[in-house]
Amino acid sequence: MTTTETPTPREVTVIFNREDRIFRGVVTGGALTSLVVLGLIGLFLFMRGAQIFGDKGIRFITGTNWTAGSGDGVIPDDFSIGAMLVGTIIVSLIALVIALPLSVGGALYLEFYAPQKVRGILVTLLDLAASIPSLIFGLWGIQVFTSFGERWAVLINDWLGWIPIFSVEFDNFGRSPFIAGCVLGSLIVPITTSVAREVYSRTPRDLVDTCYALGGSKWGAIRAVVIPYGKSGVIGGAMLGLGRALGETVAVYLLLNLVFRYNFRILESEGGNVASLIATKFGEATEYELKALVAAGFVLFLLTLVVNMTATTIVQKTTPRA
């Protein structure tokens, strides 16, 4: 018996004439706008902020002061974003610590536990939640969530106050990194959950079924197959969420007291955030202060760009495009 080879279609080769080349040129030009815009953002912010980097050097990112000078040189201008950077990272990490377990749990629930009828509704809800503007999260946070958050903060402080980060100087629990972090957490949960769900749904069904066939329970299958399989995808999703949290402006602006000193007590009513610093100081900034704000924006831009590029690389590696 001879094996007949199934003919595979030959790769279509197209010879491009002049019209085609024009078309390809135009399309390539259009596609490169995003590259150009991204480059221009970096370039312009750097150019406008360059004077600050020159004046302050590394102290721009390590110092904590943000003092607008008196203009006559008696009180000199002193702008640095150390406290705001640390604050940004603290708030985003709180958000991530809250969002990660919730979204892994949520994604597992949607993929493996939810009854078929409920599932469709919940997935729609998840997609909807991803499109709620962050402004509305902030509004809800300050008007609705804060009363809950303060109560939780008091409880945490009562029980765990002996741990330095849960201690407070003043008994005022509103507008703290904790509360801002909680709201940011619920803001990034839709992002991380969608990515996690996407990855989990790609788990080879055979492997899961094999687990059941070997007598494994549902959790056994999830722990042995699903979670290891989706691990790096979930990490990538978490980093996407982190990038979102680092750059969030209005929600944090509404929920956090900006105080210009290093603060690691997350329940204290003081914190920092580069993005909301820009929004706060922009209105009445002097020309020199404006440059400092642009420089701060440049640092934020670099920070989020690095986080996002890492996340993108991880996600693209783990979810091969169909």
Partner 1 sequence: MSATTTQEPVAEVRPQTPWSASRSVRAKSGGTLLLSGLLAATIVLFTGAAGIDGWAVMFLGVSLLVALLRTARVGGKERRDAVMRVVITAAAVASFTPWLSIFGSVLLKGWPGIHINFFTQDMRTTVPDDFLEFGGALHAIVGSILMVTIASVITLPLGILSGVYLTEVRGRLTFLVRFVVQSMSGVPSIVAGLFIYTTWVTATESFSAFAGALALAVLMLPTVARTAEEVLKLVPEDLRAAGYALGARQWRTALMVVIPTVRSGLTTAAILGIARVIGETAPLLLTSLSNSALRFHPFDGPIASLPTYVFGYLQIGTEYAIARAWSGSLVLLVIVFILFTLARRFGGKDKR
- For position 7 contacting partner 1 by CB under 8 A, the verdict is no
- For position 316 contacting partner 1 by CB under 8 A, the verdict is yes
Residue 201 burial (CB count, 10 A): 14
Q: How far is CA 224 from the centre of its chain?
A: 29
- For position 214 contacting partner 1 by CB under 8 A, the verdict is no
Q: Which of 240, 256, 258, 266 binds partner 1 (CB under 8 A)?
A: 240
Least distance to partner 1, CB of residue 71, Å:
21
Quick check: helix, strand or coil at residue 202?
Answer: coil
Task: Name which of 167 and 201 has its Cβ closer to partner 1.
Answer: 201
| Sole window of 53-61, 163-171, 249-257, 262-270 interacting with partner 1 (rule: CB under 8 A) | 249-257
Task: Name which of 50 and 167 has its Cβ closer to partner 1.
Answer: 50
User: Which residues does residue 66 pair with via DSSP β-bridges, in sequence order?
Assistant: 79
The string of DSSP codes covering 115-169 is: -HHHHHHHHHHHHHHHTS-HHHHHHHIIIIIHHHHHHHHHHHHHHHTTSGGG--S
Kindly state the number of chain residues that form the binding site for partner 1, as judged by CB under 8 A: 97
Q: Which of 218, 224, 227, 257 binds partner 1 (CB under 8 A)?
A: 218
Quick check: helix, strand or coil at residue 7?
Answer: coil
Quick check: helix, strand or coil at residue 46?
Answer: helix
> Six-digit token pair at 51?
């004077």
Amino acid at 257: N
- DSSP strand pairing (66-67 vs 78-79): antiparallel
- For position 279 contacting partner 1 by CB under 8 A, the verdict is yes
Q: Which of 51, 68, 145, 210 binds partner 1 (CB under 8 A)?
A: 145
- For position 247 contacting partner 1 by CB under 8 A, the verdict is yes
Rule CB under 8 A: which of 283-312 touch partner 1? 293-294, 297, 300-301, 304-305, 307-309, 311-312
Q: Which residue from 232, 223, 224, 222 is spatially nearest to 196, judged by alpha carbons?
A: 232
Rule CB under 8 A: which of 18-77 touch partner 1? 19-20, 22-24, 26-35, 37-38, 40-41, 44-45, 48
Task: Name which of 177 and 243 has its Cβ closer to partner 1.
Answer: 243
Task: Name which of 11 and 72 has its Cβ closer to partner 1.
Answer: 11
Task: Name which of 142 and 234 has its Cβ closer to partner 1.
Answer: 142
Where residue 73 falls (left for φ over 0; alpha for ψ -120 to 50; beta otherwise) is: left
- For position 213 contacting partner 1 by CB under 8 A, the verdict is no
- For position 235 contacting partner 1 by CB under 8 A, the verdict is no
- For position 151 contacting partner 1 by CB under 8 A, the verdict is yes
Task: Name which of 24 and 70 has its Cβ closer to partner 1.
Answer: 24
Task: Fill in the per-residue mask, 73 to 112: x = in contact with partner 1 (CB under 8 A), - = not in contact.
Answer: ----------------------------xxxxxx-xxx--
Q: How far apart are the first and last CA of the chain?
A: 36
* Contacts (Cβ under 8 Å, ≥6 apart) of 87: 177, 256, 258, 263, 271, 272, 273
What one-character DSSP code corresponds to residue 262?
-
Least distance to partner 1, CB of residue 242, Å:
10
Task: Name which of 109 and 167 has its Cβ closer to partner 1.
Answer: 109
CA angle at residue 71 from 67 to 72, to 5 degrees?
Answer: 125
Amino acid at 285: A
Task: Name which of 33 and 70 has its Cβ closer to partner 1.
Answer: 33
